[in-house]
Structure 1
Amino acid sequence: MEQQLSFEKAMAELEKIVAKLEKGNLSLEQSLELYEKGTKLSAICHEKLQSAQLKIEEITKQEENSGGEQ
């Protein structure tokens, strides 16, 4: 799984996997394979969201420390 996937691409791929799994017409092996891929994509999305949250917190702290002056 490529770590360089954008959040949007990883999420879109994850949504496709969920849709396939929800249909329930896959073999156990196929389901497990998709589940594994889905968990990796989920981890990528989570990591990217955490990174974005940390950046927002950093920017907010910088703004607070500068008194909001520009």
Structure 2
Amino acid sequence: MGYEQARDELVEVVRRLESGGTSLADTMALWERGEKLAAICQTWLDGARSRIDQARHQSGPEGS
């Protein structure tokens, strides 16, 4: 799953949780899904940060 898809689904999960009106079982399932989606997003962001750091390192010291 890509970052944008995970993020969009996470936004929907949060919206549903905030709107209320769901059973405890559904709330727990949404929460668990949200946690998984947040982890997917974090993995993508960590990978992007690593690639940026790596590119900066390869380009040499700042200001060169």
Q: By the TM > 0.5 criterion, same fold?
A: yes
Task: Indicate whether 1:24 and 2:20 are aligned.
Answer: yes
Aligned length: 63
Unaligned runs of 5+ in 2: none
Deviation at residue 19 of structure 1 after TM alignment:
0.2
RMSD: 1.4
What is the aligned-residue identity percentage?
A: 37
Match of 2:41 in 1: 45
Unaligned runs of 5+ in 1: none
SS, match of residue 33 in structure 1: helix
Deviation at residue 56 of structure 1 after TM alignment:
0.3
